[in-house]
Amino acid sequence: MSPASRTIIHHSLNRYRYNETYPLLSTGRRKHNCPEHCLLTTLGAVIIFVVFATVFRIMPADNEFAWTNFESSSCTTYATREYVAELNVSIWNIHRMEICMGTSADVHGKPHRPSSCEVRSGKVVGHFAISHDEPDCVTYWSEYKDKGCNARGSKKRHIAQHLMNLPHKANYKEFCATTPARFLEQEFSGANSCETSIWGVWGHWFIDDDSC
């Protein structure tokens, strides 16, 4: 190898060594950036801690909460009406659902806890299923009609009844299945099947009968 070639290689090695030795930032900048950066980091951590300590505080006493904007809704099932209310608890409280489910409300003179809770439009909302003192939600059956044996050898007798006092726009299948009935010295919690027509809602039962 000629002297000229050795000189070029030597200079090239020095250039790479220079790039590895000197960092992109000067020593002076590294020394003066840390205090400012650390101060901002510490300040941010303190602010976050204060916010979390305020919002996500320990669950307070029950008497700090109350239901507001209590409204009655539709009849949902036999003798039962749904009520909806808002609870004065922050939606950012991590215990909001537990607080909602555990806070009672007086309806018709009796304490009730919600059957479910949700966050809606920035509010904690509770749903109450009230199954007493709701006469408009009480359905009942007309006199039963004996339709005879369901089929020869079936040992089943077909009974039909007309469902009365069904609330407007109510789910007829729900009320048909939950309205109690009594006939032929037997009691039933609801019909076996239901149908609706221009003549109204009818419930059907298929009871044991050896004569069929």
Per-10-residue mean pLDDT of the chain, 212 residues long, equals 43 44 46 57 64 50 79 96 96 94 95 96 96 97 95 92 95 97 95 94 96 92
Phi, psi of 84 (to 5 degrees): -130, 140
**pLDDT value, residue 46:** 61
Domain ranges of the chain: 3-55, 62-135, 139-208
* DSSP-derived 3-state class of residue 57: coil
> pLDDT at position 11, please?
43
Specify the 3-state DSSP secondary structure of 200.
strand
Report pLDDT for 50: 55
- Residue 147 has a pLDDT of 95
pLDDT of residue 196: 94
The pLDDT score that the predictor gives to residue 137 is 98
Burial of 63: CB neighbours in 10 Å, binned 0-12, 13-18, 19+: exposed
Percent composition of the chain: helix, strand, coil (DSSP 3-state, to 5): 30, 35, 35
Task: Please report the pLDDT score of residue 151 as a whole number.
Answer: 87
Q: What was the pLDDT predicted at 18?
A: 41
Give pLDDT, residue 152. 85
| CA-wise closest residue to 159 among 212, 198, 113, 107 | 212
Q: Which of 203, 196, 210 is nearest to 145 (CA)?
A: 203
Residue pair 136/124 in contact by the 8 Å Cβ criterion: no
What pLDDT does 135 receive? 96
